[in-house]
Amino acid sequence: MTDTAMPKIYDPKTVERALYDWWEAQGYFKPRLVEGRRPFVISMPPPNVTGKLHLGHAMTASIEDLMIRYHRMRGDPTLWVPGSDHAGIATQNVVERELAKEGKTRHDLGREAFVARVWQWKEKYGGLITQQHRRLGVSCDWERERFTLDEGLSRAVREAFVRLYEKGLIYRGTYLVNWCPRCTTAISDLEVIHREEVTKLWYIRYPLAGRPGEYVTVATTRPETMLGDTAVAVNPEDGRYRGLVGQSLILPLVGRVIPIIADDVVDPRFGTGAVKVTPAHDPVDYELGQRHHLEAIDVMTDDGRMNERAGAFAGQTQAEARRNVVAELERQGLLEKIEDYRHAVGHCQRCDSLVEPRISTQWFARMKPLAEPALQAVRDGRIRIIPERFEKVYFNWLENIRDWCISRQLWWGHRIPVWYCQGCGEEIVSVTDPATCPQCGGAALYQDPDVLDTWFSSGLWPFSTLGWPEDTEDLRTFYPTSVMETGYDILFFWVARMIMLGLEMTGQAPFHTVYLHGLVRDEYGQKMAKSKGNVIDPIEIMDEYGTDAVRFSFLTGSTPGNDMKLSRTRLEANRNFANKIWNAARFVVSNLEVGAGSPRPEAPETLADRWIQSRLQRLTADVTRLIDEYQFGEAGRQIYDFLWGEFADWYIEISKVRLYGDDPTAAATARRVLVTVLEQALRLLHPFMPFVTETIWQSLKRAWGDERWGDSIMIAPWPAAGATDAEAERQMASIMDVVRAIRNARAEYDVEPARRIPALIAAGDLTAAFQAERASLVSLARLDDARLTIAPELAEKPAKALALVTGGVEVYLPLAGLVDLEREQARLSKELADVEADIARAAGLLANERFVAKAPAEVVQKERDKLAAAEERKAALAARLEMLAGM
Ligand SMILES: [Zn+2]
Ligand SMILES: [Zn+2]
């Protein structure tokens, strides 16, 4: 007993770290190739290198580790590739904030020194999240860990850029882009978060040229941009302005003469029907300007101030300029009125600053030709999206996709592989750094200062991490990958781009399945946010409840694509589950004799033995099917119900009769069934709760196992579902129903737990089964064996007995055996008196008109409910007393 005994209490802290290190050291996280067997591969979504593990990461890792452990046990060559993302803007922001504390900006350091400083920061703090991931038990191959800025991935980025450029799918152009004045870079449409806000609508008078005293009034939400106006536009159908189209206006504060133009895009219902046109600072105006050949005048600097083209307002911030422009217009009598106005305002996803639409020269990827094959791959089923409803979202976005602005005015990232020749102006696009200009041979070259959007490199992630563009062994073996599992919130940012770039670069869909999980919300369904104070730190709950309980909560609480609520109650319940299995296993192990694994004489299996083994085979088939169908939550719930209910609460109790009995062969059978059922159920549970299952499995192995068990549950084979025994399940279900009915009756009559009661059971065609499990029945329902009758039918139904009928089986419990007549009558009479007093009180209250009229409706309703419940109880007590009186 000594060396196999399990500690009384399961303490996750004492086992998790050591187990993880042991698994990793054994090389279990590395793929084991099997000839002719298709590998199962997941690329882990790379968390930002600035990141700290949050619940979203923990959810992602739990789901992916479940799939990975499952496939590894199935015997598939299994690879999970981890890594992290350099996270352009986010990381640059972090280091810039650090510099700000020293009173410096990145410009004080210069580009090279700044980038070196970011690398230093990355080496020092960038590993935090990988350590935190280990706490979750993730079984990824750390030797294949990648970073989006490492040498291989940087080369992949250059290769992809050059290929797209050469096909005409990347171009440089001057267009209106989204500009963040805080981050001082262009950002893509996806990085702009639109929020409804109430701002102002200013009505400004623009004087007509050559017609003193006459003017056209325009309405605008951004008066400061009027300094860059190059026209005023009206709808051609708008009768109010028909005579004015083609005339000129004098732009106030600037004095520029601008035309009045007509265009269908103008909504006559907005403001006065006349709008100012600022092609350099508004997307609609930009298009208008293109159509009408208007000049685009950018009046702002990179950091959101007014530039020299803003005249007297140059150098002011946008907010200052707005105040001053409005004040000056008012002074000149050109401000007609100001109204409140509700509309969507764009903010930077990274820093929440107001995003400025701004004309700028940037690099773009042409998306239509890339989107078409990506649409096709999902339409023809090469890629399946789970849940299916997201396919529509995906189609809709790709069908309306616009070109992607891929350049960023940052220093941290993949620098664009384009060089310009100072001699002849040649543009050189190259995978390797060019030394001289191929056109003129000159050596005075300078590289484009911009870097690429972070999502450009993560779009290559499934294949760049395997060695692409080199034709590596890993790429040949493990690409295309299998499942891309991530949150639905980055379907466009990431998943769609991986599909587009994967198809374009490798000719293959990068994965066959996209599994999208929802967001983790608090127990009330609220989004977690620092400002709300409801953020849960995954590390903290792993410390408190154990990693398995946290994983199990994610895995059973979520369904694909739907947000989940995480509550402490659920975490506690799942910690209790780990403890329940631990206690059950401790019971089993403590009843094994050391070395009992060797065969010894056994009695034949009982009905209960055949039942629990059949239930296990059914569970195995169901769980396997559910995991294959990505229904992880339901699979976990079924394992939970089996282990907690059928195994621990029923079978273990039933086994005690034989374990504590005097037939050693019967005890040997019970021991073997206990061990084999527990062991197989642990294997089913392992992908959900790796730590507690491995810990128990090792104890079980020490007490019972042999070399055939292997070294670890994580490399033990996934169970194959064997034959079921429907007849045993039917018979046992009936016996359990009878036990439940008797237990309920005992509770209802307040029978002391130690009291053994008589019973008569008419079991019909189940008589043999009930006879076979007679000892179990006696033990589970606490029956008096000497006064227990089991027969196909009863010649005479006993009088003065409680009759219970469940599924064709009749059970009679003689009342005299159940209760002490006088005491029970006294108890019931007392309770009846109490109930009658309650009824009188509630009825009195409800008869009081003032109470009914004045009290809140829900208080009155509560009294009515109370009264109804008391009446019901009174009737039941009266019936019970009447029955006892007849005895
Ligand atoms: Zn920003
Ligand atoms: Zn040249």
**In the prediction, which pLDDT does 765 show?**
93
758 CA to centre of ligand 2 in angstroms: 105
What confidence tier does 303 reach under pLDDT thresholds 50, 70, 90? Answer: confident
Taking a 5 Å cut-off on Cβ, the residues next to ion ligand 2 are 421, 423-424, 426, 437, 439-440, 442
Cα 543 to ligand 1 centroid, rounded to whole Å: 35
DSSP code per residue over 467-487? TTTS--HHHHHH-S-SEEEEE
Instruction: Specify whether the CB–CB gap between 385 and 391 falls below 8 A.
Output: yes
Q: Which of 20-34, 99-113, 807-821 has the lowest mean pLDDT?
A: 807-821
Torsions phi, psi of 475, nearest 5? -65, -45
Q: Where are the beta strands (DSSP E) in 719-844?
A: 757-762, 783-791, 801-806, 809-814
pLDDT band at 1 (very low <50, low <70, confident <90, very high): very low
Rounded to the nearest angstrom, the distance between the alpha carbon of 438 and the centre of ligand 2 is 7
Exposure pattern of 275-302 as b/e (b: 16+ CB <10 Å)?
A: bbbbbbbbebbbebbeebebebbbbbbe
What average pLDDT does range 154-167 have in this prediction?
97
Phi/psi at 300 (nearest 5 deg)? -120, 160
Find the ligand nearest to 356 CA: 1
pLDDT of res. 2:
40
Cβ pair 647, 680 in contact under 8 A: no
The edge-to-edge listing of strands for the beta sheet with 215-220 is 215-220, 192-207, 335-348
Q: Please tell me the distance between residue 443's alpha carbon and the centre of ligand 2 in angstroms.
A: 8
Q: What would the pLDDT profile of 478-520 be if each residue is shown by its tens digit?
A: 999 999 999 888 888 899 999 999 999 999 999 999 999 988 8
- Shortest-distance ligand to the CA of residue 187: 1
Average pLDDT, stretch 750-761? 91
CA of 436 to the centre of ligand 2 (A): 8
Confidence class for position 597, pLDDT limits 50, 70, 90: low
Closest ligand to the CA of 438: 2
Closest ligand to C-alpha of residue 354 is: 1
Alpha carbon distance 279, 229 (integer Å): 7
Ligand nearest to the CA of 428: 2
In the three-class reduction of DSSP (H, G, I as helix; E, B as strand; rest coil), residue 593 is classed as: coil
- What's the whole-number mean pLDDT along residues 596-625? 91
Query: What is the 449 CA–ligand 2 centroid distance (Å)?
Result: 18
The rounded Å distance from CA 840 to ligand 1 centre is 69
Q: Which ligand is nearest to the CA of 423?
A: 2
Number of the ligand closest to the Cα of 192: 1
Q: What is the dihedral of CA 93, 99, 101, 103, to 10 degrees?
A: -130
Instruction: Name the residue type at position 664.
Output: P
Ligand having the closest approach to the CA of 445: 2
Omega of the bond prior to 31 within 30 degrees of 0, cis? no
Q: What is the CA radius of gyration of the chain?
A: 38
Q: Which two tokens stand for residue 412?
A: 């941290």
Cα(526) to centroid(ligand 1), Å: 26
Cα(167) to centroid(ligand 2), Å: 22
- Both tokens of residue 726? 């429907």
Ligand number nearest CA of 88 is 1
Q: How far, in Å, from the CA of 153 to the mean position of ligand 2?
A: 29
> 413 burial class (0-12, 13-18, 19+ CB within 10 angstroms)?
buried
Ligand with minimal distance to 421 CA: 2
Residues 414, 456 contacting (CB under 8 angstroms): yes
Of the listed ranges 102-111, 530-539, 876-885, the one predicted with least confidence: 876-885
The ligand whose atoms approach the alpha carbon of 436 most closely is 2
Closest ligand relative to 434 C-alpha:
2
pLDDT at 376 over 70: yes
- Ligand 2 centroid to 362 CA: how many Å? 22
Q: Ligand 2 centre from 433 Cα, in Å?
A: 15
Count, residues in the chain:
887
Helix, coil or strand: residue 587: helix
Instruction: Please provide the DSSP assignment of 695-724 as one string.
Output: HHHHHHHHHH--GGG-S-GGGSPPPPP---
DSSP H helices in 309-367:
318-331
CA–CA separation, 693 and 704 (whole Å): 16
> Is 643 in contact with 588 (CB distance < 8 Å)?
no
Give bridge partners of residue 520 from the DSSP assignment.
Answer: 564
**Calpha distance 274→232 (Å, rounded):** 7
Average pLDDT over residues 352-368: 91
Evaluate if residue 884 carries a pLDDT over 80: no
pLDDT computed for residue 877 by the predictor:
86
Amino acid 134 reads: R
Going from the Cα of 187 to the center of ligand 1, the distance in angstroms, rounded, reads 8
**CA 128 / ligand 1 centre spacing (Å):** 25
Of 221-235, 287-301, 803-817, which range is least confident?
A: 803-817
**Predicted confidence (pLDDT) per residue in 176-199, tens digit:** 889 998 888 888 888 899 999 999
Distance 553 CA to ligand 1 centre (A): 35
How far is Cα 237 from Cα 268, in angstroms, rounded to an integer? 9
Q: In this predicted structure, what is the pLDDT of residue 887?
A: 62
- Give distance in angstroms: CA of 351 to centre of ligand 1: 4
Q: Which ligand is nearest to the CA of 351?
A: 1
CA of 418 to the centre of ligand 2 (A): 13
Query: By the 8 A CB rule, do 381 and 426 touch?
Result: no
Cα-to-centroid distance, 84 and ligand 2 (Å): 39
> How confident is the model over 640-668, as a mean pLDDT?
95
Q: What's the CA gap between 446 and 490, in Å, rounded?
A: 35
**Ligand 1: distance of its center to the CA of 49 in Å?**
18
Q: For the segment 250-284, what is each residue's pLDDT rounded down to a tens digit?
A: 999 988 999 999 999 999 999 899 999 999 998 88
In angstroms, the CA 533 to CA 23 distance is 37
Q: How confident is the model at residue 220 (pLDDT cuts 50, 70, 90)?
A: very high
* Residue-averaged pLDDT of the chain: 92
Report d(CA 674, CA 680) in Å as an integer.
Answer: 10
Q: Give the integer Cα–Cα distance in Å for 530 and 505.
A: 40
Strand ranges for 410-465 from DSSP E? 418-421, 427-429, 445-447, 451-452
Task: Return the ligand number nearest the Cα of 185.
Answer: 1
Rounded to the nearest whole angstrom, what is the distance from the C-alpha of residue 156 to the centroid of ligand 2? 27
- CA dist 646 and 654 (Å) reads 10
* DSSP structure class, residue 447: E
Q: How far is the centre of ligand 1, averaged over its atoms, from the C-alpha of 96 (Å)?
A: 13
Which H/E stretch holds residue 21? helix 12-25
Ligand 2 center–CA 447 separation, angstroms: 13
Model confidence at 594, pLDDT cuts 50, 70, 90, reads: low
Cα separation, 104 vs 107, whole angstroms: 8
Distance 439 CA to ligand 2 centre (A): 5
Mean pLDDT of 305-317: 91
Sign of CA dihedral 115, 177, 358, 221: negative
Question: What ligand has the least distance to the C-alpha of 181?
Answer: 1
**pLDDT for residue 817 is more than 80:** no
**Backbone dihedral angles phi then psi of residue 762, each to the nearest 5 degrees:** -100, 100
Q: Which amino acid is at 416?
A: I
The C-alpha torsion from 203 through 258 and 266 to 219, rounded to 10°, is -10
Ligand nearest to C-alpha 180: 1
Would you say residue 139 has pLDDT above 90? yes
Q: Are strands 215-220 and 783-791 parallel, antiparallel or unpaired?
A: unpaired
Compute the distance from residue 185 Cα to the ligand 1 centre, in Å.
8
Average pLDDT for residues 229-243, to the nearest whole number? 92
Ligand located closest to 193 CA: 1
Distance 367 CA to ligand 1 centre (A): 24
For ligand 1, the distance from its centroid to the CA atom of residue 356, given in whole angstroms, is 10
Distance 452 CA to ligand 2 centre (A): 25
Q: State the pLDDT confidence band at 351, using cuts at 50, 70 and 90.
A: confident
**Residue 183 Cα, ligand 1 centroid: separation in angstroms?**
4
The pLDDT assigned to 595 comes to: 53
207-216 as b/e: b if 16+ CB within 10 A: bbeeeeeebb
Distance 190 CA to ligand 1 centre (A): 13
* pLDDT of 598 higher than 80: no
89 CA to centre of ligand 1 in angstroms:
8
Q: For residue 173, report the distance from its CA to the centre of ligand 2, in Å.
A: 21
What is the model's pTM? 0.85
